[in-house]
Amino acid sequence: MGTSLFERINQRYLEGFHNEPKQSLQPIWGYASVPLLSLEEACEPLLTIIPRLPCYIWIAKRNSTEPAEGLTQDESAAIHLYTMEWDASDNSNPDSLYSHLNNTLKMVDRTKLRPWFRYLKLFLTGLVKLPIAPRQTVWRGVRKDCSADYSPGTEVTWWAFSSYTTSLSVLESDIYLGNIGTRTLFSIETFNGRTVRAHSHFSNEDEILLLPGTFFEVKSRLNPAPDLHIIHLCQKRPPYDLLEPPFKAIPIAGLIGSPTPPVSVSEAFYSFDGNTLDLYSKHNGRTMGGSVHFRQDYVATGQAIVLNQSNTTWIEISNNFNIIESNVTVEAFIMLLKPRVDGNIFQFSSDFQMGLRNDILFMSFDPNVNVSGKSVISTDDWHHVAFVYDASKKLATMYIDGIADGSKSNITPRFSTNRNLSAPAMIGHGFYGAIDHLSISVTAKRNDIILWDASVAAYYPMDRLQPNDQGPNGLNGTSAGISSTKGMLNEAFTFNNSDAYFEAFGFTWLGMPRRSFSLAFWIRYEGSPGAFLTVANPSTCLLVLGIRSDDHKLVAYLPNATRSRSSVTVVGAVMPQVWVHVAFTWSLENRAILYSSGFIQGESPDAVVLSNYQGDNSSYPYTITLGTYSGSADCIGGGLYPSEHFMGTLDELYVFARELSHAEIKLRVGAMNS
């Protein structure tokens, strides 16, 4: 690899900030759910984006065998890789990883960041482990006049990672800005920079790195010489989080496993929102055979593809997947539209297929190596299915709704040893039903990750007034009138007026009869009773949780919860004005159970069927509302009155598409109180 000027100087002192977008961008969110991977695995989605990347990964790993400051080798190597300059001896615009990443961070379309999620998780995890540099003034610059964009008193956001030097003399040297020509010098007061010298390719410089979404106030703008402009910036805390933290202070492993990836973080992801395109545009499909149509999908914010096989129909993917000697995970939400379905959900080749045989899951690795499930999948209901092959263990496992349904060991696929997958891959060949959110990952996902993908319908951390869903389905909410305060974990939503609310739409499966579900969250009651959580669609009320005014007890009100359409009220304990963990679960087997502080406080065997069983419009997707409910459904009852407005604070809301066990709830409470 040749030596060039780009390799001898740190170009990041001069790049990446003078073409910041003029408009405010959406926060950088979603990457934190991805598991920590090796640098090689984290960079897999980037191989088609950044030229010669494997070579630079290899160099970064070799230069990080003894990582400093408590980082792992992969975390240190991720930082080292970011600081490397690609050889630009014959290219004035080098293809360095940091250039691609920072350009993407400044794009309005945040979906362009998804191939970067794995790398961002590893890179930012390493960065936030580094000691925070002391408050100081740092420097960077550019050989042009940027002064018109920085008026004193205004506020600006830099969306890219930005590098600074602590030495003004370094920046004024001839290889950087020099002392002649048009140039803008930035003098910046920082309070949370990271010194990356111990992990950098430029180990002789004290480079300070600031994270994406750094917020500044312009303090002054000077023009001491005709061709020199000096901008003084002071870092400020933004009014809202612009960058999601890479991990939480307390893990959620006690309940549902480590923070885990949305199904969309993968080698390929098909949302089927009116088309058959891969989200990453590497493995786009096209319809073959008969026709397809689209319907409301699992999360009600998009569409799902429907194959009815009136003529044999499938989706063909001409650019097949490189899975030779590789781990593989295929996941999807499916709905069978008739019984006794025999068809493939996904087919890598004629040897390697996965789907259903008479409504039971199967995997086929060649005509003589097959894996069969045990359970018959019901029709007219959404189910999450997953097929995992772990090449290192030679183990194949299949899952229904996050639960292992069949496995087989000592499997060596024929394609792993004797031929490439040259034929097109196929989705849905012979399948009769709907498919949604199909993903292919070249990793063997753990069972806790599969359970997260299958059963966490939504997770709202409620930090810094952000209504975003950090679960796998992206059911972001909206809010008004709420304020942010210190929560049980990080920050929380406070409801302190009659107009305050948070709501999230799209819970399709709550409209399906007999579907188990759970809600779990933390609450701090502040003395004003009323309903604080409502689950309803425009015509039907499913559940109301609140605090009664006459005795200040926690109650769960279930309209139309019996076969005779009578309501059921489950009464819990008196609510103290401190943080309390509350959970509500319902299943056909155990009916309605209300928990607080990890204990069962009330239950009702009478809640045999909920209002989603009653037909009519009850199957329309449901909305979850916190605070004041203003919808059209009749949700009055259980000693909760519309004239009363709950005042208090809520934090860490989880919505599960399954029943949590008592042990899981106790474990969650214990983990947060430890």
Backbone angles phi, psi at 41, to 5 degrees: -70, -40
Residues 426 and 471 in one domain: no
Give the mean model confidence (pLDDT) for residues 2-30.
63
What is the pLDDT confidence band of residue 620, given thresholds at 50, 70 and 90?
confident
In the prediction, which pLDDT does 181 show? Answer: 83
**Is the pLDDT at 409 greater than 60, yes or no?**
yes
**Among 445, 470, 491, which residue terminates a domain?**
445
Whether residue 11 is found in the same domain as residue 133 = yes
120 and 146 part of one domain: yes
- pLDDT over threshold 70, residue 451: yes
The alpha carbon torsion through 95, 101, 102, 103 (nearest 10 deg) reads 70
Is 392 inside a domain boundary? yes
Same domain? For 382 and 511 the reply is no
Exposure letters 50-75 (e unless 16+ CB within 10 A, then b): beebeebbebbbebbeebeeebbbbb
> Is 70 in the same domain as 126?
yes
Asked whether residue 256 is assigned to any structural domain, the reply reads no
Range of the domain at 51: 5-239
| Residues 256/257/262/265 CA torsion (nearest 10 deg) | -170
* pLDDT per residue as tens digits for the range 516-527: 999 999 999 998
A 10 A CB-CB count for 541 gives 26
Q: Which residue has the higher pLDDT, 131 or 405?
A: 405
Task: Point out the domain boundary residue: 384, 411, 445.
Answer: 445
Residue where one domain finishes, among candidates 445, 468, 498: 445
Is the residue at 83 inside a domain? yes
My answer on whether 106 and 230 are in the same domain is yes
Question: E strands within 575-642?
Answer: 579-587, 591-596, 599-604, 622-627
Query: Is the residue at 261 inside a domain?
Result: no
d(CA 249, CA 490): 8
Q: pLDDT (tens digit, 9 = 90+) per residue, 411-449? A: 887 654 434 456 899 999 999 999 999 999 888 888 888
Task: Tell me how far apart the alpha carbons of residues 525 and 649 are, in angstroms, rounded to a whole number.
Answer: 7
Q: Are 64 and 189 found together in one domain?
A: yes
CATH, residue 507 = 2.60.120.200
The yes-or-no verdict on residue 667 having pLDDT over 70 is: yes
Choose the weakest-confidence range: 77-91, 122-136, 279-293, 309-323: 77-91
Report residue 540 as tokens: 């039907």
Task: Please indicate, yes or no, whether residues 384 and 508 belong to a single structural domain of this protein.
Answer: no
What DSSP character marks residue 411?
Answer: -
pLDDT tens digits, 215-259: 999 998 888 788 888 889 998 888 778 888 886 532 332 223 333
pLDDT at res. 12 = 56
pLDDT of residue 215: 92
Residues 468 and 436 in one domain: no
Residues 10, 106 share a domain = yes
Strand pairing report for 313-317 and 425-427: antiparallel
Are 288 and 302 spatial neighbours (Cβ–Cβ below 8 Å)? no
Share of the chain above pLDDT 90, in %: 53
Q: For residue 652, what are the CA distances in angstroms to 13, 119, 240, 449, 546?
A: 40, 26, 17, 19, 17
The per-residue pLDDT for 327 is 87
| 22 three-state secondary structure | coil
In the three-class reduction of DSSP (H, G, I as helix; E, B as strand; rest coil), residue 138 is classed as strand
pLDDT-derived band at 10, boundaries 50, 70, 90 = low
Please indicate, yes or no, whether residues 364 and 289 belong to a single structural domain of this protein. yes
Do the domain assignments include residue 75?
yes
Same-domain status, 103 and 203:
yes
User: Is residue 28 in some structural domain?
Assistant: yes
- The answer to the question of residue 259 being in a domain is no
Instruction: Determine the pLDDT at residue 630.
Output: 93
- Whether the pLDDT of residue 71 is over 80: the answer is yes
- Of the candidates 134, 132, 216, 206, the one whose C-alpha atom is nearest the C-alpha of residue 169 is 206
Domain of 50: which CATH number? 3.90.176.10
Q: Is residue 258 part of a domain?
A: no
Q: Which residue is listed with tokens 């159970």? A: 593
Of the two residues 417 and 495, the one the predictor is more confident about is: 495
Work out the average pLDDT over 630-638: 94
387 vs 331: CA distance, rounded Å: 6
Q: Is the pLDDT of residue 398 over 60?
A: yes
Rounded to an integer, what is the distance from CA 366 to the centroid of its chain?
35
In this predicted structure, the answer to whether residue 114 has a pLDDT above a threshold of 70 is: yes
pLDDT of residue 374 exceeding 70: yes
pLDDT given at position 91 = 45
Give the pLDDT of residue 597. 92
Question: Count of domains in the chain?
Answer: 3
pLDDT per residue over 138-178, tens digit each?
A: 888 887 888 888 999 999 999 999 888 877 766 666 556 76
